Structure 1
């Protein structure tokens, strides 16, 4: 119902009255011209909506670019992780080969040690008992020196192999840590990517919701304007007879104090979703009687979108009173009413969740404070 109350206040003034002369007709034409100006204002609002759509699209584009960057980073990290895994596999194979070499060196060293021990005992014993052949003894000593050097070389190879194994193991640990760090980075990037996706979805949902909401509101506004224009054209040209005074001419006893008793839920000019209240909202129980605030003639009594069951009373001299959200209407189009007459009952029509009465007053098409008009103050 956003924006409808202001338009209703503008349009209702255009209701023609009996005896209206050419000057009054010209005044109504001017008011319709003002209404068309209001429509142009709404068209400007549509342009603002398109601008907002463009801004949201730019934000969406920024998110899409960020999404692409994160996707590329994620692919690069995954490639890096796969490369590190291949390197780890190579290091594991090298370590396995070294371990095989170490086992072979161990077996060779053990065999050489055993042979040297067995042969050495016999040869050293012979050399100790036989001193007749110094040359042979010299050759044997040289042979044992060779064996000792060979064993020493094998031991050095074993030491280097062990050192290489330890170095590879350290490298494996470093690579494993680097791989874990890379995986952690991937996890963080994935989390950022998911957050980006979520933000993108939320932005898209917000954009679609805003466009749908605003688009629907503008369509309803235009539809309501058209209905009100049709209403103006269809209303009978009737007005209170001269013997019946306008509201300002009536004595206090001839005017009802208030259309229904209850607390003020919204005051004139207070904020609402679509702007400001151009009337008041009075809380009351479902079915409570709604009374006319002054004498006049019913110029509208029907359902209107955004207002539910609505009744409008023309009091003459440009004054109209509006009663909306009713449960039922007790007066019909063209009926004359006096101040205090029951014209409707309180309801929650028009899509409201709680019962209440919208009460508005128009003076020459301009919404005025019903509290001031009725003498109840602010």
Structure 2
């Protein structure tokens, strides 16, 4: 019986050796998978870091573009107010000019009538004639002063119109600049959105790979424990079989001595 047990143990040795080799092969495969996954995780972490840096820089660029856009909008608002003010001033000057021209027309008409009246008075009375001449001289002075005022109003209005032309041209430039800035900001925000989308997808992939890496390391630990346990069992079996073999040899020796 002891010899049978010993033989059975000997027959089990190749099977145990094959199982150990299989375990070691599986452990090697797991370790290779871990190395590949670690490499993939590291690459994704580097990509994530690069994307995060790009997004931070992009946020600064967008913030700066937004400030420039607000400045341009503020400039346009102020230009609109300035142009409205100039329009009001030009309209006021136009009204004043029209008033002065109407008054001048009335004065000229009055002077003309007074001139006709003076011609008649020259025939009738010298004293009336002198009075009419003084009145005509006064009208002349008033007309001259009013004409001067009208010219000054014209000149001021022309100057304001020139300023308005400059402001309108500047307003056009600012509107063009505003359009360019709005387009640039839109492109920047689209690029930021695309990077955020890429980053979100990358983080999801990274999280999945990290979870898989945890599982692989757990598998590695279990496989190492399995191999260690198998080795302990193999040693224990070898020791047990060695004791059995020694016992069998002792029994054989005793029988040989008794024979």
Q: State the TM-score, normalizing by the size of structure 2.
A: 0.70
Pair 1:118 & 2:110 matched: no
Gaps of 5+ in 1: 1-16, 234-378
Give the structure 2 partner of residue 216 of structure 1. 208
Q: Which residue of 2 aligns with 1:90?
A: 85
Q: Is the 8 A contact 2:44 2:202 kept in 1?
A: no
Counterparts of 1:36 and 1:220 in 2: how far apart (Å)?
A: 13
Of residues 194-203 and 41-50 in structure 1, the stretch that sits farther from structure 2 once superposed is: 41-50
Cα distance between partner residues in 2 of 1:230 and 1:50: 27
Q: Shift of residue 98 of structure 1? A: 0.6
Q: How does 1:44-59 map to 2 (within 5 A)?
A: 44-59=39-54
1:46 deviates by 1.6
Aligned with 2:187 (options 182, 195, 199):
195
Q: Note the alpha carbon deviations across 1:278-325, whole angstroms, 9 max, x for none.
A: xxxxxxxxxxxxxxxxxxxxxxxxxxxxxxxxxxxxxxxxxxxxxxxx
In structure 2, runs of 5+ residues without a counterpart are: 1-11, 227-259
Bigger fraction of residues in helix: 2
Tell me which residue corresponds to 2:37.
42
Residues 233-244 of structure 1 mapped to structure 2, 5 A cutoff: none
Deviation at 1:218, TM superposition (A): 5.3
Alignment of 1:161-180 (within 5 A): 161-180=153-172
Q: State the alpha-carbon separation in 1 of the partners of residues 103 and 165 from structure 2.
A: 31
**Which secondary structure state, in structure 1, belongs to the residue aligned with residue 46 of structure 2?**
helix
Alignment of 1:1-378 (within 5 A): 19-22=14-17, 25=20, 28-29=23-24, 32-33=27-28, 35-127=30-122, 129-130=123-124, 133=126, 137=129, 140-217=132-209, 219=211
Distance 1:89 1:21 in 2: 99
Distance (Å, rounded) in 1 between the aligned partners of 2:22 and 2:138: 131
Determine the C-alpha separation between the residues in 1 that align with 2:59 and 2:25. Answer: 51
| Distance change >3 Å, CA 210–CA 197, structure 1 → 2 | same
Aligned position for 1:335:
none
Which whole-Å CA distance do the structure 2 matches of 1:26 and 1:119 have between them? Answer: 137
**C-alpha deviation, 1:26, in angstroms:** 5.3
Per-residue deviation, residues 76-121 of structure 1 (Å, max 9, x unmatched): 1111111111111211121121112112101211111111111111
Q: Following TM superposition, by how much is the alpha carbon of 1:56 offset from its aligned partner in structure 2, in angstroms?
A: 0.7
Instruction: Give the equivalent residue in structure 1 for 2:244.
Output: none
Computed over aligned residues only, the root mean square deviation of the Cα atoms, in angstroms, reads 3.2
TM-score by length of 1: 0.49
Q: CA deviation at 1:215?
A: 3.4
1:142-198 alpha-carbon deviations (Å, 9 max, x no partner): 442332232122112112212222222222122112112112211111111111100
Larger RCO (CA within 8 A; separation ≥ 6) = 2
Given that 2:34 and 2:216 are in contact with CA atoms closer than 8 Å, whether structure 1 keeps it comes out as: no
DSSP 3-state at the match of 2:14: coil
| Higher alpha-carbon Rg | 2
